[in-house]
Structure 1
Amino acid sequence: MMTSGLGRFALGRPFPDREHAVCVSLPTVRDLVGYEEKDPRVLETMASGYPRFVRHRRIVQLIDYLDRKSGEDGMTRFLVSDQEACEEAILYCSADQARVIRETGFSSLLVPKGTDQSERVSMFLQHSGIGISSRRAEDVLLREGQIQSAESTTLMDDPAGLVREIIAKAHGPEIFPEDVLLGSSGANAFYALFREASKQAESSGKDLWIRLGWLYLDTIEVMDLLAGETVQIDDPRDCGKVEAIFNEYGPRIAGIVTEFPTNPLMQACDLQRIRSLCEKWNSLLVVDPTMTSPKNAKVSGLADVIVNSLTKYAGCEGDVMMGSLVFPSGSDRGRKLLEGTASRLCPPYRGDLLRMAEQIPLYNDFIENANHSLPHVVSFLEGHSKVKAVYWAYQSSNQGNFEELAGPDRPGCVASFEVDGSFKDFYDNLPMLKSPSFGTRFSLCCPYVYLAHYKLIKSETGLEELKRAGLSPFLCRLSVGTEQPDQIIDAVDEGLRALEQ
C-alpha cells in the first residue's frame, strides 16, 4: 500500500511509519524553529529524524547501554564506523582529550562532556557521515539482549552487487558495476573522495578548489576543512567568472566541485565548457546530479567523478541512508583516485544494503513517474498569483544547460519556490508532510534554508550571504511523490489560499 505525504501529520511523526525512517514531521514554523534551537518540546517528540542531524533512538539506546556497561561517566560517547574514522575525528577536531574503544564491528569515541571538543566532534560526524547506522545499533542491541526484535528484511547473497548494477545502468552505458563504490551516505561518499583528492592534489602543488554554485551544507563544510583554499562562485552559470579564475590561478587549481543542477535553486552550469577548462588545466571535475538523479542528468561523459546520494530516488521508500561514487573508465584523473577513496569510505552496513536492495527495483519507475508529474505542478506554481518565483531544472535562466545533457522531459521530482506573502501562513496551512529530504515516493515540502542554514538566518551577515547566493530564507523545496499530480496541486493550493485571506 502506498504511503502518501498529503495530509496533516503530528509533530515528530516519523515518515514512513518504519523504525528507520529518515523523514520526520515539522508541521509549523514554531516547530521548525524549536527543532533548530533544540527546544525540548520538539526534540522529545522525535524518535528518529534525518540520521546525520538527529540521533536515532536505537543509537541513543546503544550509547546508554554501553555507558552503563562500562560505568563511563563524564564523557560523551559517539558511535563511529571504525577506529581509523575515530582517529580522523580526533585529528580534525583537535580532540586531544578523546579516547577510542574498539567495539565489535564499530568503535566508540569518548570526548569530555560539555566541552568545545564534544561540539566539534558532533559536527564533524554530521559532515563526514562516519557515524554508525541505526540498523547496526539495532542489531547490536538485539545481540546483547537489550531489545526483543529487530527489522526483518529479505535476505540475499549480494545486495551490494544489485545496488551497484542498477546505479551503473542509471548513469549510462559507459558505466559498469565495477566503476561504482558505495558509502554509508552521500556525505560520507563525498568526504572520502575529497580527502583522497585533496591529498593527491596537494602533493602535485595544486591547492585551490572551486565551489561552483551554492552547494549542500556538508559539502561546503568538508571542503572548508580539507582544502588548502576555496573560491566560491555563487551562480554556476557564470562561466566568465570561472574562466577568469582559471586564467589567474590555473596551475594551482586542483578541481571544481558542482551540483548539476544545484540544491535548492536547480541551477545548471554549462558543464561542457567547465569540462574543457578542467581538461586545459588538468583539474578534477566532481559532479553531483542527485537533485534530478543520474538517470536524468547524464553527466558521466563529462565528470571525472560522480557523487550521488542514494538516500534520494534509490531509497525512495524513505528509510535507508547510502551514497555512491562513480569513476568513469574514460577519466584518468578520476580513476587514479578510486583505490585510495575506497580505502577511506565507510561501507554501508549489511542491513542497510538489504533494505536498499528491497526498494531499489522501484528506482526507474519512480523517476519516470516524477518526470511526468513535476511539470504539471510547476505549471500550476508558475501561474499562481501568490507564487513569486519557481526554480526547476528547465527554468529559462539555465539557458538550456540542463536539457543539453538530460534531453527533454527529465526534470526529476524537485521544484523550489517562494510565496508572495507570509511564509508562516503558507507553511502552517500546507496539508503536506514538512520534513528534510527529497526523492521519496511520498510528497514532502522542505523549508530548505531553515533546515540547512539556520545559523545564517539568525545574523545580518548571514542574511547578506544568503542574499548574494539568491537564497530566500523562506524558500520551499517541493519533492513530488507518486500521488496524482492533481492531488499534489490541491494540497499546495490549500496552503496558498491562506495567503489570500
Structure 2
Amino acid sequence: MLAAVGRPVPDIPHATSVSLPTWRSNVGYEEGEEWVVSKMQTGYPRFFIHLIIQELEKEILSQYGRSGERVMLFPSRRTAQRCQAFFQDKRSEVSVRLLHLEPTSSQLKNTKYVLSKLSCVFFPADEFPTAKQVWQHSGSGISSRRGEFCLKALKEGYLVPVEGPAPVTSSHHDLFSKGPRRYQRGTSQSGIQYGMNGHIQPQANGNHVNGSDFQDQDQFIEERFGRNLNAENAARVKLAIRRRIAGSLTEDLELDDALAASESGQQKCQQDHNVEGERLRYGSEDDVYLYPTGMNAIFSAHLLVMEEAQRRGRPPLKSVCFGFPYIDTLKVLEKWGPGAKFYGNGTDEDLDDLERRLESGERFAALFTEFPSNPLLRSPNLARIRQLGDKYDFVVVVDETVGNYININVLPHADIVVSSLTKIFTGECNVMGGSLVLNHSQRLWKQLNDVLQEQYEDNYWAEDAVFMERNSRDFVSRIERINVNAEATAATLQKSPFVKEVYYPSLVPSKKYYDACKTPNGGYGGLLSVTFHNKEHAPIFFDNLAIQKGPSLGTNFSLSCPFVLLAHYNELDWVQQFGVDPYLVRISVGLEDPAEMNNVCEKALEAITQS
C-alpha cells in the first residue's frame, strides 16, 4: 500500500524519503499548500529539517537563544564557521553568532564511548532562507540520529557551552580553517583515535559489531551497544565501509569476518591485478574519505580544489559544471568561490567549445560532472575530459552515484570521485552518507592529499555509519539484480505509443561513453526517466504507478517522483533549454520481481488509455 501524503518512506523514524503519492501533492508541496505542508512528517534530509532536529533546535533556543532568533545546528566548529562565513559573504549586514556545546568534563574523561559536540549558528528568524542554503547545498548539517543523541545529552545536562572562536573571514579562499596538521596520532572530538591518514584507527581487542539478525533503528543500536556506542566499534565500521568502496571488501559477512576477508582479498588483488585489483591499483582504503552526505562530499571536493589551487599560487578560477547536474552541485559551484561555467547539455559539442576556450587561454580550476547524469542518464566523454584536464591543468571530479562503482569504473579518468552513499550503496533508505576517493595515480594526488591530510575532519556520525555498513553488505548482489530489473522496465516503457522517450544509459546516444567505463560484469544501473508525447499523460501515468512515490533513488524498493518539478519548480523554463522536460517522471527500480514491475508499468500506461 502506498504511504499517505507526508508519511516517511519507509515508515521508520530516520527514513530519508517522504511520500508525495500524486502529481497534485508534488505541486502542492512546491507551492507550499497547507493540505500538503501540514502533513509533512519528514522529508529528504537536506531539504527538510527532521522533526527530531527541530525539537533539538527549540531546546537550544529555549536555553541559549535570544528574542527573534532561529538556530541551525552543525557537527563541528569548522562547519558552523562556514555557515557564519556564508552569512558574512552574502548578508554582511546580518548579525550572526556562534555557540559551541561540548560534553561535560566528566563525560570526556571516558573516551571509550562515542560522544558528540554540537555547534550552533544563531541568526534573525527572517534570515532562515540564507541559513537553509548552507544546510541544503553543503550537506553539512547534523543528521537525525546525531540530533537524537544530542537532544538527550542536552536535556540531561551532558552538553555545555564553551568559549566561542575568534571571528572568521568571509574570504572565498579561506574556507578551510587554518592551523596545525591535525593528523598526528591523537584524540578526536569523539574520543576516537586517528591515524596519520586522517581516518579512524581501529583499536585492538575492542568489542566489535557482530550478530546475525539486523533490526532497524533504536532496537538494533540498543541490542548491539546498549545505547553507548563503543568508539572502537565505530572505527571498525568505518574501516569496513572504506574498504568496501575501495574494492577490497566484497563479501556479505559479519563485520569481523568481513574485515579479515578484506585483508586477504586486498593482498590477492594486489598480486593478481584482477577486476577488483584494477580499482586498488588507483587507490586503497587510505584514499577513501567519508562524509555525512553525498553533497557534503561534493562540497568538500570543491573546497579542496580551491584550497589546493591557492596553495599553488593560482589565481581564483571558475570551475566547469559539465552536463545537466543534480541541482545542488551547480549551486555549490556558483555560491562558494568565483563561480562556474555551465555546460548544461554535456555533449561533444560542449567539449569542443570548452577546448576552444582553453586553447585561447581561458583557465578553470576543476571540471565537475556526473556519470551518468541525473535525470537524463547521459554519460560524458571522460577520456577526452581527462586529456583536457592533464593538458590544461584542471582537476576532474566525477560523481558516480547513479552509475555506482560495481557497474562502472570512472576512477582512471578522475582526480576525485564522489558518491552519495545514501542511494544504492545503502538501499534501505534509512541513513545518509557520502564518500570521496582520491586517485593515487594522478599527477595532483600529492597536492590534494596534502590538503586533505591537514584539513579533513570526520563528521560522519557513528550510528549512521553502523547502519550504512550493515546495509551495504549485500551491495554487490543487489546491484546485479537491480540492473536486470531496470533494463526490463525500460524495455516495457519503450514499447508504449504514449512514451516519447526513455532515458537510460543503454538507450541514450552517449551509450558508447558509458560502455567505455563499464566494468566486465557491470550493467546500466537502476535509474531511468520517461517522458510522454502528451504532457497531460505524465500525471495520469504517475498517479497510477503503484510503487512508492517520493524523492531519492537507489532504494531496494522501487520509487518514483516527478523529479524536474521537485528539483526545478521555480526554473522550469530554464531547464527546458537543456532538453529537460518539466513533465519527466523518474523511476528508481528496486528488487521486486521483474514481472511484477512490468505489470505495474503496464497498468499505469493502461490508465492513460482509459482517461
Question: Do both proteins adopt the same fold according to a TM-score greater than 0.5, normalized to the shorter chain?
Answer: yes
Aligned-partner SS, 2:413: coil
Residue of structure 2 in register with 1:234 after alignment: 344
Contact 1:190/1:219 (<8 A) preserved: yes
Is 1:325 matched up with 2:436?
yes
Aligned residue runs from structure 1 range 179-258, under 5 A: 179-202=287-310, 203-205=313-315, 207-238=317-348, 239-250=351-362, 252-258=363-369
Q: Distance in 1 between matches of 2:19 and 2:56?
A: 24
Q: Distance in 2 between matches of 1:341 and 1:496?
A: 50
Is 1:488 matched up with 2:587?
no
Q: Distance in 2 between matches of 1:339 and 1:217?
A: 30
Q: Distance in 2 between matches of 1:488 and 1:249?
A: 52
Is 1:30 matched up with 2:24?
yes
1:121 pairs, out of 131, 134, 145, with 131
Residue of structure 2 in register with 1:392 after alignment: 504
The TM-score with structure 1 as length reference comes to: 0.92
Q: Distance in 2 between matches of 1:267 and 1:261?
A: 5
Match of 1:54, as an amino acid? F
Is 1:401 matched up with 2:513?
yes
Judged with a 3 Å threshold, the aligned counterparts in structure 2 of structure 1 residues 184 and 217 are, in CA distance, closer, same or farther, namely: same
Superposed displacement of residue 206, structure 1 = 5.6
Residue of structure 1 in register with 2:284 after alignment: 176
Judged with a 3 Å threshold, the aligned counterparts in structure 2 of structure 1 residues 81 and 439 are, in CA distance, closer, same or farther, namely: same
Superposed CA deviations along residues 262-296 of structure 1, whole A, max 9, x for unmatched, are 11101111111111111111211111111121221
Superposed displacement of residue 420, structure 1 = 3.0
Indicate the larger mover: 377-386 or 199-208: 199-208
Is 1:130 matched up with 2:164?
no
Contact 1:187/1:309 (<8 A) preserved: yes
Superposed displacement of residue 442, structure 1 = 0.6
Judged with a 3 Å threshold, the aligned counterparts in structure 2 of structure 1 residues 144 and 206 are, in CA distance, closer, same or farther, namely: closer
Residue of structure 1 in register with 2:191 after alignment: none
Is 1:74 matched up with 2:68?
yes
Is 1:433 matched up with 2:543?
no
Aligned-partner SS, 1:336: helix
Superposed displacement of residue 396, structure 1 = 4.2
Contact 1:305/1:334 (<8 A) preserved: no
Q: How many residues align?
A: 484
Residue of structure 2 in register with 1:4 after alignment: none
Contact 2:502/2:528 (<8 A) preserved: yes
Aligned residue runs from structure 1 range 102-501, under 5 A: 102-104=100-102, 105-114=117-126, 117-144=127-154, 150=218, 152-153=220-221, 154-155=224-225, 156-157=233-234, 158-169=236-247, 172-174=279-281, 175-202=283-310, 203-205=313-315, 207-238=317-348, 239-250=351-362, 252-341=363-452, 343-344=455-456, 347-407=459-519, 410-421=523-534, 422=536, 423-457=538-572, 463=573, 465-501=574-610
Q: Distance in 2 between matches of 1:208 and 1:48?
A: 36
Superposed CA deviations along residues 322-341 of structure 1, whole A, max 9, x for unmatched, are 10000011013244223434
Higher relative contact order (CA 8 A, sep 6+): 1
Aligned residue runs from structure 1 range 8-23, under 5 A: 8-23=2-17
Q: Superposition RMSD on alpha carbons, in Å?
A: 2.0
Q: Which runs of 5+ in 2 are unaligned?
A: 103-116, 157-216, 226-232, 249-275
Match of 1:99, as an amino acid? R
The TM-score with structure 2 as length reference comes to: 0.76
Contact 2:402/2:527 (<8 A) preserved: yes
Dislocated runs of 4+, deviation >6 Å: none
Match of 2:61, as an amino acid? D
Q: Distance in 1 between matches of 2:407 and 2:280?
A: 13
Superposed displacement of residue 145, structure 1 = 5.2
Contact 2:23/2:562 (<8 A) preserved: no
Superposed displacement of residue 245, structure 1 = 2.5
Contact 2:15/2:431 (<8 A) preserved: yes
Residue of structure 1 in register with 2:54 after alignment: 60
Q: Distance in 2 between matches of 1:49 and 1:289?
A: 24
Q: Distance in 2 between matches of 1:264 and 1:341?
A: 31
Q: Distance in 2 between matches of 1:348 and 1:271?
A: 30
